[in-house]
Amino acid sequence: MTDLTGSTPKTFASLRNLDGWSLAALAAALLVTFPIVTVFVLAVAPDTPVFGHLASTVLPRYLRTTAGLMLGVGIGTAVLGVATAWLVTMYRFPGVQLFQWALLLPLAIPAYVIAFIYTEILDFSGPMQTGMRAFYGWHGPRDYWFPEIRSLGGAISMMTLVLYPYVYLLARAAFLEQAAGVIEASRTLGRGPWRTFFSVSLPLARPAIVIGISLALMETLNDFGTVDFFAVQTLTLGLYDVWRNMNSLAGAAQIACIVLLIVIVLIMAERYARRSQRYFNTTRRLNPSPPTQLSPMRSAIACTVCVVPVALGFLLPVIWLIYDALLYRELAETEIFLSAAANSLMLSSLAAVIAVMIAIILAYGARLRGGALLKVATRLANVGYAVPGAVLAIGVLIPMAWFDNSIDSFFRDRFGVATGLLLSGTIVALTFGYVVRFLALALGAMEVSLARVTPSIDGAARTLGAGPGRRLLRVHLPIVRGSMLAAVILVFVDGMKELPMTIVMRPFNFETLATQVHQYSANERFAQAAPAALGIVLVGLLPVILLSRAIGRRRESLAPPVPGIATAVEQG
Q: Judged by CB under 8 A, does residue 314 bind other proteins?
A: no
Q: Rank residues 105 and 205 by Cβ distance to other proteins and give the closer one.
A: 205
Q: Contact letters (x/-) for other proteins, 134-153, by CB under 8 A?
A: -----xxxx-----x-xx--
User: φ and ψ at 91, to 5 degrees?
Assistant: -130, 160
Q: Which helix (H) or strand (E) holds 441?
A: helix 427-451
> In a 10 Å sphere around its CB, with 0-12 CB exposed, 13-18 middle and 19+ buried, how is residue 394 labelled?
buried
Q: Which is nearer to other proteins, 11 or 405 (CB)?
A: 405
Counting residues that bind other proteins (by CB under 8 A) gives: 100
Least separation in angstroms between CB 225 and other proteins: 11
Residue 497 sits in the site that holds other proteins (CB under 8 A) = no
Closest distance to other proteins from the beta carbon of 401 (Å): 4
- In terms of residues, how long is the chain? 572
Q: Is residue 341 part of the contact set for other proteins (CB under 8 A)?
A: no
Containing 198, the helix (H) or strand (E) segment is none
- Look up residue 148 and give its DSSP letter: -
DSSP 315: I
User: How far apart are the C-alpha atoms of 83 and 74, rounded to whole Å?
Assistant: 14
Residue 465 Cβ, how far from other proteins at the closest point, in Å? 31
Decide: helix, strand or coil at residue 348: helix
Binding test (CB under 8 A) with other proteins, winner from 24, 30, 246, 345: 246
Contact between 425 and other proteins by CB under 8 A: the answer reads yes
Residue 357 binding other proteins, by CB under 8 A: no
Q: Candidates 156-164, 166-174, 230-238, 541-549: pick the segment binding other proteins (CB under 8 A).
A: 230-238
200 lines the binding site for other proteins (CB under 8 A):
yes
Ramachandran quadrant class, 131 (left: phi over 0; alpha: psi -120 to 50; beta: rest)? alpha
- Contact call for residues 138 and 73 (beta carbons, < 8 A): no
**Residue 422 found at the interface with other proteins (CB under 8 A):** yes
Contact pick of 22, 77, 100, 186 for other proteins (by CB under 8 A):
186
Cβ contacts of residue 531 below 8 Å, gap of 6+? 325, 328, 329, 331, 332, 337, 516
What are the φ/ψ torsions at residue 293 (nearest 5 degrees)?
A: -75, 135
Positions in 519-558 near other proteins (CB under 8 A): 519, 522-524, 527
Closest among 509, 528, 508 to 518, alpha carbons compared: 528
Q: Which of 16, 134, 272, 284 binds other proteins (CB under 8 A)?
A: 284
Q: CA nearest 374: which of 19, 36, 37, 25? A: 25
The residues in 50-109 that bind other proteins, with binding defined as CB under 8 A, are 53-54, 57-58, 61
Stretch of residues binding other proteins (CB under 8 A), selected from 49-57, 362-370, 475-483, 553-561: 49-57
**Which ranges constitute the DSSP H helices of 1-95?**
8-16, 20-44, 50-56, 59-90
Q: Which of 68, 95, 153, 181 binds other proteins (CB under 8 A)?
A: 181
Q: In the complex, what is the shortest distance from the CB of residue 99 to other proteins, in angstroms, rounded to a whole number? A: 26
- Mark the segment that binds other proteins (CB under 8 A) among 72-80, 107-115, 229-237, 481-489: 229-237
Phi and psi based region of residue 295 (left: phi greater than 0; alpha: psi -120 to 50; beta: remaining): beta
Choosing from 40, 121, 419, 552, the residue that interacts with other proteins (CB under 8 A) is: 419
Cα angle at 159 between 157 and 162, to 5 degrees?
A: 110
**Contact pattern from residue 107 through residue 126 relative to other proteins, giving x for each residue in contact according to CB under 8 A and a dash for the rest:** ------------x---xxx-
- Under DSSP, is residue 388 helix (H, G, I), strand (E, B) or coil? coil
Q: Does the footprint of other proteins cover residue 322 (CB under 8 A)?
A: no
Name which of residues 379 to 418 contact other proteins (CB under 8 A).
Answer: 390, 393-394, 397-398, 400-402, 404-405, 407-408, 418
Task: Choose between 207 and 468: whose C-beta lies nearer to other proteins.
Answer: 207
Please name which of 327, 515, 364 lies closest in space to residue 430, comparing C-alpha atoms: 515
Residue 445: strand pairing partners? none
Interacting stretch for other proteins, rule CB under 8 A, among 190-198, 337-345, 356-364, 552-560?
A: 190-198
Is residue 188 a contact residue for other proteins (CB under 8 A)? yes
Quick check: 182 binds other proteins (CB under 8 A)? yes
Tell which one of 31, 47, 128, 206 touches other proteins (CB under 8 A): 206
Contact range with other proteins by CB under 8 A, out of 78-86, 475-483, 506-514, 532-540: 506-514
**What residues contact residue 170 under an 8 Å CB cut-off, 6+ apart?**
81, 208, 209, 211, 212, 562, 564, 565
Phi-psi region of 192 (alpha: psi -120 to 50; beta: other; left: phi over 0): beta
CA distance 172 to 164: 12
What phi and psi values does residue 92 have, to the nearest 5 degrees?
A: -110, 125
- Cβ closer to other proteins: 61 or 555? 61
Between 11 and 419, name the residue whose CB sits nearer to other proteins. Answer: 419
Closest approach, Cβ 113 to other proteins, in A, equals 16
Contacts of residue 340, defined as CB under 8 A and 6 or more positions apart, other chains included, come to 511, 512, 513, 515, 516, 532, 535
* Site membership for other proteins, residue 338 (CB under 8 A): no
Q: How far is the CB of 277 from other proteins (least distance, A)?
A: 5
Contact string 434-473 vs other proteins (x = CB under 8 A): ----------------------------------------
Interface pattern 264-283 for other proteins (x via CB under 8 A): ----------x-xxxxxxxx
Output the smallest distance, CB 112 to other proteins, in A.
13
Contact status: 320 vs other proteins (CB under 8 A): no
Q: Is 185 in the site for other proteins (CB under 8 A)?
A: yes
Q: Show Cβ contacts of residue 303 under 8 Å, excluding neighbours closer than 6 positions.
A: 93, 94, 95
Q: How many CA atoms lie within 13 A of 76 on its CB side?
A: 23
Give the residue with the Cβ less far from other proteins, 53 or 369. Answer: 53
Rounded to a whole number of angstroms, the minimum distance from the CB of residue 139 to other proteins is 8
- Binding of other proteins by 233 (CB under 8 A): yes
